[in-house]
Amino acid sequence: MQELKKINGELNAFSNISTSVDKFPFSVKDNICVKNVETTASSKILKGYIPPFNATVVERMLEKKFGFLGKTNMDEFGFGSFGTNNENVARNPFNNEYVAGGSSSGAAIATSILKYHVAIAESTGGSIATPAAFCGVTGFVPTYGTVSRYGLIDYANSLDKIGIMARSIDDVKITYDTIKGPDRYDATCTDNKIGNHDNKKIFIIDQMLDGVEENVRSHFDNFISKMENEGYAIEEKSVDVLDKAIASYYIVAMAEASTNLAKYTGFKYGFKNEQYGHGYNRFFTEARNEFGKEAKRRIVLGTLVRSASVKDKYYIKALKIRRIMLNELNKLLSGGFIASPVMPMLTPRIDDSEKLNPVEVYKMDKLTIPPNLCGLPHVSFPIAYRDSMPIGVQVMTSQFNDYAIMDFAKIWEEKFEYKYRYNIGEL
């Protein structure tokens, strides 16, 4: 514990750590409720919020052989790709001058530094794949609706998926089998059977390689060659609508986020305004000053795209494009997996990431958005190390075929040695 606390002081993986754990430890992203443990989604507006209940995923983990280790750091409400939109900037365990990725930054760092541990994380548009890739661990996002969202602090209801990070795909599978399944408290949670169908084919999509830096592309090509040697047929395809994925995703995500954030009024959860004599509008406006800049930006944009005068132009249009994308990707994925790099560039330095404007940051999510917008299961895992920093790949499959990408990741895992800078808890 002492070593963990020391390294946590440097990297900001955990917002709090249990005093002791006598079972296999699991961490929980700070936007998922754990009974009697402060849960803030890294937002000042939720400071002091103590949930009186466990999220369904937490309840299921505790019922099995897992012990709660702590809450992990994240971008405020999940709004970020680098783990820097919060009070305590998350730092990469391979080099603390670099970003850890977001928004499940703490989950990825914790997985990278702890020898025995699984992380319960959450993805809306890339919040598991990206930090998993930057921190060199395995990240898994299941088919939308196969894991209950009860107890998750909503970012965007039609996009949020609770997923897992671990050091091995076997640990991911054990955890997924523990937390998945229908839940009476989540009406969108399905009881569909999870399949395992592998056509021994990998599609590479032109639009997903446009703009990928050469030093990332070369490692990806090398990975594809190795999987070809494992018996996978490789086929290049073009899916034009993917060029519209970023805009469609951000419109849907911000529209949903702006409605979800309306519940933080300064007297029900977390932060208390205390100026009860002020009129409701003034009271509410004062309380919402606690949101960070990115949250405010998303509230404004989400409110704008839902306005009656432009709703069809932006919000409904984005949902129609999601339908086109769903149809095209589902058709393609019935014949094989789609593989791509996770991010179009190498892990950025923290100071460089802070210089990017919002559109530049949103564009970084180009490769992780398609599976997230369409609720497709996907996995990311390390495929190479460059200047001692990991580089990841993302593999997606059709809805409810989650076990197939786990087996795919297992093939790679048996051939490639994953590296870690820390092994806290090693016996």
Find the binding residues for another protein in span 123-142 (CB under 8 A). none
Q: How many CA atoms lie within 13 A of 53 on its CB side?
A: 8
What's the distance, CA 152 to chain centroid?
13
Asked if 303 is part of the footprint of another protein (rule: CB under 8 A), the reply reads yes
391: phi > 0 → left, psi -120 to 50 → alpha, else beta; which? beta
Q: Annotated catalytic, 27? A: no
CB 340 within 8 A of CB 393: yes
Indicate which single residue of 269, 337, 403, 420 sits in contact with another protein (rule: CB under 8 A): 269
In sequence order, the β-bridge partners of residue 235 are 203
Q: Which of 121, 126, 37, 4 is nearest to 72 (CA)?
A: 121
**158-177 footprint of another protein as x/- string (CB under 8 A):** xx------------------
- Helix 245-260 vs helix 293-305: crossing angle, to nearest 10: 100
Report the site for another protein in 363-382 (rule: CB under 8 A).
373-376
Query: For another protein, which is the closer residue by CB, 379 or 424?
Result: 379
Report the site for another protein in 176-195 (rule: CB under 8 A).
184, 187-188, 190
Asked if 263 is part of the footprint of another protein (rule: CB under 8 A), the reply reads no
CB 298 within 8 A of CB 280: no
Direct distance between the N- and C-terminal alpha carbons of the chain, in angstroms, rounded to an integer? 14
Asked if 293 is part of the footprint of another protein (rule: CB under 8 A), the reply reads yes
* Span near another protein by CB under 8 A; candidates 117-125, 126-134, 260-268, 338-346: 260-268
Give the shortest CB-236-to-another protein separation in angstroms: 23
Give the C-alpha separation, 97 to 377, whole Å: 31
Query: For another protein, which is the closer residue by CB, 226 or 363?
Result: 363
What's the distance, CA 378 to chain centroid?
11
Report the site for another protein in 304-343 (rule: CB under 8 A).
304-305, 313-314, 316-324, 326
Give the shortest CB-206-to-another protein separation in angstroms: 17
Indicate which single residue of 299, 338, 364, 406 sits in contact with another protein (rule: CB under 8 A): 299
Query: For another protein, which is the closer residue by CB, 50 or 233?
Result: 50
Q: How many CA atoms lie within 13 A of 211 on its CB side?
A: 12
Give the C-alpha separation, 92 to 71, whole Å: 18
Rounded to 5°, the CA angle 67-71-73 comes to 145
Q: Annotated catalytic, 71? A: no
Residues binding another protein: what is the number (CB under 8 A)? 77
Query: For another protein, which is the closer residue by CB, 2 or 280?
Result: 280
Detail the DSSP E strand segments found in 321-409: 337-341, 378-386, 389-396
The active-site residue out of 42, 103, 105, 380 is 103
In sequence order, the β-bridge partners of residue 123 are 161
Give the shortest CB-35-to-another protein separation in angstroms: 9
**18-57 footprint of another protein as x/- string (CB under 8 A):** ------------------------------xxx-xx----
Three-state DSSP class for residue 34: strand
Give the shortest CB-253-to-another protein separation in angstroms: 12
Asked if 149 is part of the footprint of another protein (rule: CB under 8 A), the reply reads no
Query: For another protein, which is the closer residue by CB, 182 or 425?
Result: 182
Asked if 241 is part of the footprint of another protein (rule: CB under 8 A), the reply reads yes
Detail the DSSP E strand segments found in 167-271: 201-205, 233-237
Give the shortest CB-40-to-another protein separation in angstroms: 12
β pairing state of 66-72 and 118-123 = unpaired
Report the site for another protein in 55-114 (rule: CB under 8 A).
none
Query: For another protein, which is the closer residue by CB, 22 or 280?
Result: 280
- Dihedral (CA of 33, 37, 43, 45) sign: positive
Give the C-alpha separation, 201 to 254, whole Å: 35
Q: Annotated catalytic, 380? A: no
**Cβ-based neighbour number of residue 109 at 10 Å:** 34
Indicate which single residue of 196, 215, 289, 423 sits in contact with another protein (rule: CB under 8 A): 289
The active-site residue out of 27, 29, 42, 43 is 29
Encoded tokens for 203? 């599609």
The active-site residue out of 127, 148, 258, 353 is 127
Asked if 296 is part of the footprint of another protein (rule: CB under 8 A), the reply reads yes
Give the shortest CB-304-to-another protein separation in angstroms: 6
User: Known catalytic residues?
Assistant: 29, 103, 127
